Amino acid sequence: MTSIRVLIVDDMAQVRRDLCTVLPLAGQAAGLEIEVVGEAGNGQEAIAQAAALRPDVVLMDLGMPVMDGCEATRQIKACSPDCRVIALTIHGDETVQQKAAQAGVDDFVVKGAPITSLIQAMAKEE
């Protein structure tokens, strides 16, 4: 079974809690072992957590206080280029997607999409 270590970054505590519950279950159904290794509430915390925990995947909200997801992604990718960053956001417009891609985001999932979309994005190997 493939194992994926995940850092969840979102300024909404409820979103983080929900993902911590759903991801391991949905991963198991897809034949993946998904381990949530940490959580962060803003981009600055995300950078520190990513450096300390070395996750395989970071689920990154783009709109957050203190430091947004695009800047946090730039800094995480600078230190850990092999870490996959998946933007998980309510902002699905093309301009936001382009800005996120320029920051180094590997994939883009709109909040509210089926959980299978998120699991597939996490399981992709670049």
User: What CATH code is carried by the domain that includes residue 117?
Assistant: 3.40.50.2300
Helices (H), 54-125: 69-79, 94-103, 115-123
Report the domain count for the chain. Answer: 1
The predicted-structure confidence for 86-107, as pLDDT tens digits, reads as follows 998 887 678 888 888 999 999 9
Mean pLDDT of the region 63-78: 92
Q: Is the pTM of this model over 0.85?
A: yes
Per the structure, the complete domain to which residue 113 belongs is given by: 2-123
